[in-house]
């Protein structure tokens, strides 16, 4: 689900490999399959996106999507579709919402439609990439764009066949898969004195923070190497983006709880963007407690 609004969306960037393999129905687990990634509209809106579905013997699929799953506009929608195992293609469409946190008129919800996108598989990892349309209930197209999804554990087994089967190619593929694993990992829950280590790609980072639950006047201080950058930042459902210039060598970014709001504990949801690195996290702190994000250049 996407909708027309001037919102800031969670950005998930990840590497999509371009190796193609045959997929058969027998290779799919009977359990529900899950893809994770993003959709990006031609207008530049970026939305985190999950696709969860079950497969019938005739290739029909049914399940749901979850969009903006870390954010305040999280929406679950029912989908139906099919997989063409002969051509390795997947099609699906969102047909209605199950739940949504988005405070918008239901009439302006755009439902994603995907037609005949290629399933690409390598070393038990399957990728979906290509274009999509989004439509109002009336059938009118309200958005177009690209979809990028990947499954960490989609296939029970698959015979790996590489175009160029040599050690150099295998090493490259392993590195790309490791990058993907990092990007698809669950966000970290940080409590008092926890340290989240990040290898900095460059000297500038973006820290995006918000309250993904009920606003209750939680406030935090932001320090860099124990120097106060921002004090008494109120954590709201509206996202705040803070740009920070890292120092040479090791930089320690500290998030310090000034209070516990009207409902303990002090909680915030956020992510760090550094180069193409995306690190989501949640903090749960008592007054005076802190967490550290440690950057090593």
CA-CA-CA-CA torsion sign (173, 178, 182, 184): positive
* pLDDT confidence band for 70 (50 / 70 / 90): low
Residue 89: φ, ψ to 5°: -125, 150
Residue in the block written with tokens 């037609």: 115
For residues 256, 291, 273, 73, the Cα torsion angle rounded to the nearest 10 degrees is -70
Q: Choose the weakest-confidence range: 69-73, 139-143, 258-262.
A: 69-73
Query: Rounded to 5 degrees, what angle do the CA atoms 94, 89, 22 make?
Result: 145
Distance CA 37, CA 48 (A): 6
Mean pLDDT, all residues of the chain:
77
| Tokens standing for residue 134 | 């989004």
Distance CA 279, CA 202 (A): 15
CA 246 from centroid of its chain's CA atoms:
25
pLDDT at 9: 32
Please name the residues in contact with 196: beta carbons below 8 A apart, sequence gap of 6 or more.
188, 190, 279, 281, 291, 292, 293, 294
**What is the side-by-side order of every strand in the sheet holding 188-190?**
188-190, 277-285, 266-274, 204-210, 240-245
> If DSSP states are collapsed to H, E and C, what string results for 230-261?
EEEEECCCCCEEEEEECCCCEEEEEEEECCCC
For residue 211, is pLDDT > 50?
yes
Stronger pLDDT, 163 or 224, i.e. the higher one:
224
For residues 77, 282, 150, 54, the Cα torsion angle rounded to the nearest 10 degrees is -40
Residues 36, 149: contact at Cβ < 8 Å? Answer: yes
Whole-prediction pTM? 0.49
Residues 77, 62: contact at Cβ < 8 Å? Answer: no
pLDDT at 103: 78
* pLDDT confidence band for 64 (50 / 70 / 90): very high
Stronger pLDDT, 90 or 40, i.e. the higher one:
90
| Tokens standing for residue 137 | 């209930």
Provide the residue ranges of all domains of the chain, joining segments of one domain with +.
Answer: 2-184, 188-296
Give, in order, the Cα–Cα distances in Å from 263 to each of 46, 212, 233, 284. Answer: 32, 14, 17, 12
Stronger pLDDT, 174 or 283, i.e. the higher one:
283
pLDDT at 22: 39
Give, in order, the Cα–Cα distances in Å from 218 to each of 16, 84, 159, 266. Answer: 38, 50, 51, 6
Q: Indicate the SS3 state at residue 184.
A: helix
pLDDT digits (tens, 9 = 90+) for 103-155: 777 777 889 999 999 887 655 567 888 899 998 888 888 888 889 888 754 33
Residues 279, 271: contact at Cβ < 8 Å? Answer: yes
pLDDT digits (tens, 9 = 90+) for 141-189: 888 888 988 875 433 332 233 334 444 445 544 454 454 445 444 467 8
Residue 251: φ, ψ to 5°: -120, 130
* pLDDT confidence band for 87 (50 / 70 / 90): confident
Q: What is the arithmetic mean of pLDDT over 41-58?
A: 84
Distance CA 66, CA 48 (A): 8
């Amino acid at each position: 689900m996407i909708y027309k609004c001037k919102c800031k969306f969670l950005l998930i960037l990840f590497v999509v490999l371009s190796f193609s393999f045959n997929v058969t129905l027998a290779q799919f687990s009977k359990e529900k399959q899950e893809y994770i990634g993003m959709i990006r509209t031609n207008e530049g809106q970026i939305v985190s996106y999950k696709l969860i579905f079950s497969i019938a013997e005739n290739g029909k699929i049914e399940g749901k999507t979850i969009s903006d799953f870390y954010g305040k506009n999280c929406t679950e929608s029912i989908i139906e579709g099919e997989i063409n195992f002969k051509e390795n293609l997947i099609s699906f469409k969102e047909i209605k919402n199950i739940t949504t946190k988005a405070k918008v008129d239901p009439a302006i919800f755009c439902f994603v439609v995907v037609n005949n996108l290629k399933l690409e598989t390598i070393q038990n990892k399957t990728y979906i990439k290509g274009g999509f349309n989004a439509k109002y209930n009336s059938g009118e197209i309200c958005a177009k764009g690209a979809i990028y999804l990947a499954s960490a554990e989609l296939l029970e087994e698959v015979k790996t066949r590489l175009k160029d089967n040599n050690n150099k190619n295998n090493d490259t593929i392993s590195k790309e898969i490791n990058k993907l694993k990092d990007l698809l990992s669950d966000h970290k829950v940080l409590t008092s004195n926890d340290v989240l280590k990040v290898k900095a790609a460059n000297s500038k980072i973006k820290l995006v923070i918000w309250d993904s639950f009920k606003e209750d006047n939680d406030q935090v201080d932001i320090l860099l190497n124990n120097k106060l950058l921002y004090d008494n930042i109120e954590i709201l459902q509206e996202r705040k983006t803070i740009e920070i210039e890292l120092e040479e060598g090791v930089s320690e970014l500290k998030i310090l709880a000034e209070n516990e709001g009207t409902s303990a504990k002090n909680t915030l949801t956020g992510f760090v963007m550094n180069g193409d690195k995306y690190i989501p996290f949640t903090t749960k702190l008592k007054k005076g407690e802190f967490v550290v994000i440690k950057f090593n250049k």
